[in-house]
Chain A
Amino acid sequence: MLDLKTKHRNGMKIGAILVALFGLLLAPVRAEEPLHVDITEGRVDPLPIAVPDFIGKDRREISAGSSLASVITNNLKRSGLFQPIDPRAFIERPSDFDTLPRFQDWRIIDSDALVTGQVVYQDDGRIRVEFRLWDVVRDQQLVGKRYYTTPENYRRVAHLISDEIYERLTGEAGYFDTRVVYVQESGPKNNRRKRLAIMDQDGFNSAFLTDGNNLVMTPRFSPTSQEIAYLSYVNEKPRVFLLNIETGQQEVVGDFPGMTFAPRFSPNGDKIIMSLERSGNSDIYAMDLVKRRSTRLTDHPAIDTSPSYSPDGRYITFNSDRSGRQQLYVMRADGTDVRRISFGEGKYATPVWSPRGDLIAFTKILNGRFYIGVMRPDGNPKTERLLTESFLDEGPTWSPNGRVLMFFRQTPSEVDGSGGTVRLWSVDLTGYNLRPIATPGDASDPAWSPLIK
């Protein structure tokens, strides 16, 4: 049997949340430019925003309201686009959710936006969470929503509210209501134990998906279902497996005579592309998950691996050393029309197409240093931008809105066994917002989920 840990399975389920829009509280509109955060600039000034604790009547509501505000504040701050104001500077302490804020009190502390909210326990044990986003400069409500959920599901509501704020103020979809599947690592470097794990994008609610009896690596989220493709060494045979994280069902992908590895889903989730190794040579294959049929896409004595579809499914970028060293290539989805797109110094690896289609993220190795970078898919070397650098940065994965990359960073290890930590980091496309992701223990191979539906 495979090594799924069933007792965590209920923890994988996503609690139901009811959402409703409600009416605006109106105030006379001031003649100012509407609030907008431009997230495409090289370096943005974070937007000052105030997120006071959500209002509650009793101790448990007040406690929940404080937790909600804290999760939202942390999300907004970590995005690098917002500068939450220290609550100690607040003049007004909102006490009635259905009363207009005193806008001048928020302008005085240089806040541009304000989030108010309240938590109300229902007779059935659920909580009702409401929030309003205010444009403090124009004295205007921008959005307001109401959610019903179970109290333990409050973090998810906070992520949904964070996405509403992000979307309303940037004009682009958010990415806070998402999860990350990754490999949790433990033990000494020469006897490493690796387990699949899953967590919210902010590092909370981490849970194991496998027990560590089999070596696992490179998990990837399906774009359309609660499934993960990954490499596992079950019975010392490295093969790509599919895991349904809601049912725990697990199956090997195809019946291949050699190692299969480096899996990724097609944009509509009906195929997996991956490498198949036979007699030492690795080529790229597409496996149709519905028809259960595989198609060979490359046939070359060089190493061909790390394939990734473009979001329209028409092209595949991949890694090959057919030129003599590792470079990035793009071909049509049927394997024709192969062309090289990386021409800078050093070696290139792990290309991943952005969900927006405009960029390919990669790992670059140059003069003994590792970089995470992005380039346009057209192969113009001038479009290459390096975002991070260290002893070992590897394996970028895109946020679903194509604005943030998560990757892993390994530090050098010493003869005495110290060092050698492996941790997850995120960086946005400006390269200025590099942040560690808190995980319980060492972590590698992150893969970002699509927005949870």
Chain B
Amino acid sequence: MNLVQSSKIVAMLAGVMMLAACAGSTESTSVTTDTGPSYAAGSQEAFLDAVGARGDHVYFAFNRHDLNSQAQAALGQQAAWLMQNPSATVRVAGNCDERGTREYNLALGARRANSVKDYLVSLGVDPSRVETISYGKERPECIASNEECWAINRNGVTSVTNGPSS
């Protein structure tokens, strides 16, 4: 099965199971690949393919840790994949923009990571499969000091921690 096919199927399953299909799931089918080696089920690569472009990320408003509808839709996709891959465990990293102080942002990042975890658990994921970590403002993805980058850097990122590697 190639990348495109698998992502379509997982996206479909997600829609049925969670009643939470969104534009993101069809966008994910635009992921293209050549005929390189395929990944194993339950791997980080499989997860990224299933949740779609940036589907491993949810984004937060300034100094907030509540989830908007877009974030909830993305987490619906993540939860669906986790239900399909019951042996997979994940780590959720909470991140902040640079416009706060270091120690407060560590605490805020922990809040964000736990918002993500709590929502996944509310969708049926066993809490023991989800660990959290806060990086505060230490792991910016976008480097410029402007509003666009700060919005990108206020996030929670889910990644598979135990899956087989491709």
Q: Which residues of A contact B (CB under 8 A)?
A: 188-190, 192, 194, 215, 217-218, 231, 236-238, 258-259, 261-262, 275, 277, 279-282, 303, 305-306, 319, 321, 325-326, 349-350, 363, 365, 368, 391-392, 394-395, 410, 412-415, 417, 419-420, 445
Contacts and interface: CB of A to CB of B under 8 A. Distances in A.
A257 B33 CA distance: 41
B114 interface: yes
Nearest to A280: B114
23 contacts: A188-B143, A190-B140, A190-B142, A190-B143, A192-B138, A215-B135, A236-B133, A261-B103, A275-B103, A277-B106, A277-B107, A280-B65, A280-B114, A281-B110, A303-B111, A305-B104, A321-B104, A326-B104, A350-B103, A412-B145, A415-B143, A415-B146, A419-B145
Top 5 nearest A-B pairs (CB, nearest first) are A280-B114, A412-B145, A349-B101, A282-B107, A189-B143
A405 B71 CA distance: 42
A319 B104 contact: yes
Contacts of B101: 306, 319, 326, 349-350, 363, 365, 394-395
Nearest to A394: B101
Contacts of A349: 100-101, 103-104
Nearest to B111: A280
B55 to A, nearest CB: 20
A367 to B, nearest CB: 12
Contacts of B134: 238, 259, 277
Contacts of A280: 65, 110-111, 113-115, 117-118, 132
Nearest to A326: B104
Contacts, number: 106
Interface residues on B, range: 20 to 34
Contact of A218 (B102, B107, B111, B114): B102
A421 B142 CA distance: 16
Contacts of B102: 217-218, 394-395, 445
Contact of A238 (B133, B145, B146): B133
B133 to A, nearest CB: 6
A319 B107 CA distance: 11
Contacts of B132: 280
A208 B76 CA distance: 46
A445 B101 CA distance: 11
